[in-house]
Each structure stands twice: as C-alpha cells, then as structure tokens.
C-alpha cells in the first residue's frame, strides 16, 4: 500500500495527482519474489467454488509459473475479499505499474496471484458445485448488470450459460439467450418474477460480498445517453399517390436513447460499445443496403419510417430494456420519434398488432354468394 491504507492508484485519484508523480523506480518492478509453492495446501469448498467461477469465466490467467486474477481499481474491495478467501493458497495482491509506449502513460494493473503448483486446474474444472449461489454471485459480479429490474450477463461462454441454467432450473429459474451475432450473445432473466426470485436466492451474498449490491442495486442518479448509427436502404410505399410508390433509396440516421441509473462500478449508464454492437448486428446488418420491403413481412406493405421505428424498438427492447426513445431521420427535415412498450409489457403482450396484419393474414376461400349482386 502507498499511504493511508490506499494503493498508489487510489491515492492518485483521491488527490487528483498524476500517478507518475508518486512512483519510484522500484515501483515498476512487480512480483519481486516468486509466489511460494504450498505443496500441502488443498483448496476448500469455498475456494474451489470461487476458482471454478473464474475458470468458467475464462478469467483465471496462467502466466509463466503464476495463476492470476485481475480486477478494476473501482472493485478493489471485492478483489481483497477474493484474496482473503484464497489467502491460504498463497494468493497475494499486486499493484503493477508499467509504461505504455502507445499511450505514453503509466498503465496500472491490480491483481492477485499464486504459484500455479498450488492449484490443480483440472480439479477446479471438474469440481461439482456444492454452493451454486456463491458461484453465481462471482459470475454476476464479473459479467452481470441490472437494467429495469432485469438481470443480464454478457460475454459468457455457451458452456457457462448451460451450467447456470442447469442449476437455476432446480429453482424454476431460466436465463433467456439473446443472440447478438453468430459468436456473441447476452442472456437475461426470463421475466420480472424470475428476476426477483433470482435476487432472493443470492441475497446472502449481496450483503456480504463487497461491491455486489452497489453494482446491481445501489440507488444512483439516472442519465440518458444516445448512440447514433447510419444505414442506407431502398424502399417503396405501396398504394402511395406520390413518387414514393417508386423504388427509391436513402440514408437513415438512427438515434438510440436509453435512460437508466449510473452504475457506480463503471461510471456508465451502459458502455456505448455494447449499444453499438447490439444495434449494428441486429439492425444495421439487417437493413443496410437492402430493400426494406423485402427484409421482413412487417415492412412488406408499408415500409414507412413509423413502421420501421416500431419494428426496431421491438427488436431492441429485449436487449435494451432501458430504451427511452428511438429517433429515425429519413431526410434532414423528416424524422420519426417513437416510444414503445416496456420489456415487461412486451413479454406479456407480444409484438404490436399494427405490424402484423399481412404477416398473420389468413383468408378462407369465399363463395360467389358473398359478392354484391
């Protein structure tokens, strides 16, 4: 520790000082001594559970002779909690400062490490969970967030997703898988009732694990953020009296605005890159350089900006329950603003009927007796 029980990085933030002013040459040498190999030590059930969570998250790093767990500086209290629980396995905390030639600044990494001989990765990999909700809590702290009372997990593997649902199903809870692309997906609690049930199941750890409650539920100020994207499409308006009945192209500027609490662990409402990734893969890839009328039944008859806005809302609301408004510019002077149902309402009521007329159209053959005359 640097001073007042704080790390050098924490102290620099507290006093708004460049970390370079606080470092000596010796501070640039991390891991001065190799971690000790504790041949007689065996992980207990709690330690195995924590380590298995990190293993299944692909966050248990093996570098040279060491096993390392990294963490952000804002979650150091949580990292110290992990260190305390793994201390008997030789884990020690390190603040590593390195000069980065690309950014021309000091980059600080916070982590705990131990000798890789102290842990059998194979044993951790094959460990049968006895305390699933501790395991789930570690997973959620590393890859989870809440939005409008729904619980989300991002950047997890298919194997981890299946493991979570295997154990959650015993409590009649299910995580819904939401594909972003062929290789990337997020998942969320199926509905608000199951969200509440899931939270109740980990209530013990929300109280005892540092940063957990703050990350998910601490009351903080709300803010609105907007991400702008662009796509080019052609379309035509069936039965229109003017020129719009003809096929014509244009550029659509789309603004996705979300509103939610500011997460105290990240400083964000949501990372702009996640909004971009979701919208790019689900919306831009679907419509860019295509004829809107031929992309889906909802737009086949009326590919108006209004219908397009409704459709985009209903595609995104599963992934972004904090959607506040969608704004689509068809020209510099013509645009549509739309606010649709909440995710909870969408789950209960389904898609908007206004888009489904032709998609759901079924007509039996009528005899001539029904004709006038």
Please give the positions annotated as active site.
244, 289, 330
Q: β-pairing, 290-291 with 150-154?
A: unpaired
Distance CA 170, CA 163 (A): 12
Distance CA 298, CA 326 (A): 18
Composition of the chain by helix, strand, coil, percent to 5: 40, 25, 35
Distance CA 275, CA 246 (A): 34
**Is residue 293 within 8 Å of 235, Cβ to Cβ?**
yes
Give how far Cα 120 sits from Cα of 37, 52, 126, 329, 344, Å.
12, 11, 10, 57, 44
Residue 219's Cα: distance from chain center in Å? 20
DSSP 19-69: GGGT--GGGG---SSPPP--TT----HHHHHHHHHHHHTT--EEETTEEEE
Distance CA 61, CA 68 (A): 5
**Is residue 46 within 8 Å of 126, Cβ to Cβ?**
no
Coil/strand/helix, residue 25? helix
Residue 9's Cα: distance from chain center in Å? 27
Residue 277's Cα: distance from chain center in Å? 11
CA atoms within 13 Å, Cβ hemisphere of 366: 7
**Is residue 38 within 8 Å of 89, Cβ to Cβ?**
yes
Q: Write the CB contacts of 369 (distance below 8 Å, at least 6 apart in sequence).
A: none
Nearest 5°: the CA angle 241, 243, 248 is 135
- Two structure tokens written together for 226: 């907007």
Tell me the Cα Rg of the chain.
26
């Amino acid at each position: 520790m640097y001073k007042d029980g704080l790390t050098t990085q924490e102290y620099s933030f507290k006093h708004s000082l460049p970390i370079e002013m606080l470092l000596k040459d010796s501070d640039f040498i991390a891991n001065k001594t190799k971690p000790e190999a504790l041949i007689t030590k065996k992980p207990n059930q709690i330690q195995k559970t924590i380590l298995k969570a990190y293993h299944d998250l692909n966050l248990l790093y093996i570098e040279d002779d060491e096993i390392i767990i990294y963490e952000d500086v804002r979650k150091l209290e949580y990292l110290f909690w992990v260190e305390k629980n793994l201390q008997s396995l030789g884990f020690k905390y390190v603040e590593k400062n390195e000069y980065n030639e690309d950014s021309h600044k000091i980059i600080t990494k916070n982590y705990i490490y131990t000798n890789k001989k102290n842990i059998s990765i194979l044993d951790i990999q094959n460990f049968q969970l006895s305390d699933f909700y501790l395991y789930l809590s570690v997973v959620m702290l590393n890859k989870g967030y809440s939005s409008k009372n729904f619980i989300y997990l991002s950047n997890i593997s298919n194997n981890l997703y299946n493991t979570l649902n295997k154990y959650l199903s015993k409590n009649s809870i299910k995580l819904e898988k939401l594909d972003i692309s062929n290789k990337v997906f997020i998942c969320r609690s199926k509905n608000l009732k199951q969200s509440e049930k899931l939270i109740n199941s980990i209530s013990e750890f929300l109280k005892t694990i540092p940063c957990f409650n703050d990350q998910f539920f601490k009351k903080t100020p709300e803010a609105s953020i907007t991400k702008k994207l662009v796509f080019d499409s052609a379309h035509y308006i069936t039965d229109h009296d003017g020129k719009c009945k003809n096929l014509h192209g244009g550029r659509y500027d789309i603004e996705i605005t979300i509103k939610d609490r500011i997460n105290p662990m990240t400083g964000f409402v949501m990372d702009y890159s996640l909004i971009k990734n979701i919208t790019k893969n689900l919306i831009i890839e679907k419509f860019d350089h295509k004829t809107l009328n031929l992309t889906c039944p909802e737009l086949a008859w009326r590919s108006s900006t209004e219908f397009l806005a409704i459709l985009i809302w209903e595609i995104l609301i599963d992934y972004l329950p904090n959607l506040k408004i969608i704004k689509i510019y068809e020209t510099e002077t013509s645009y549509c603003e739309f606010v649709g149902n909440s995710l909870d309402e969408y789950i209960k009521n389904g898609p908007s009927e206004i888009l489904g007329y032709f998609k759901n159209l079924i007509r039996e053959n009528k005899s001539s007796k029904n004709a006038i005359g």
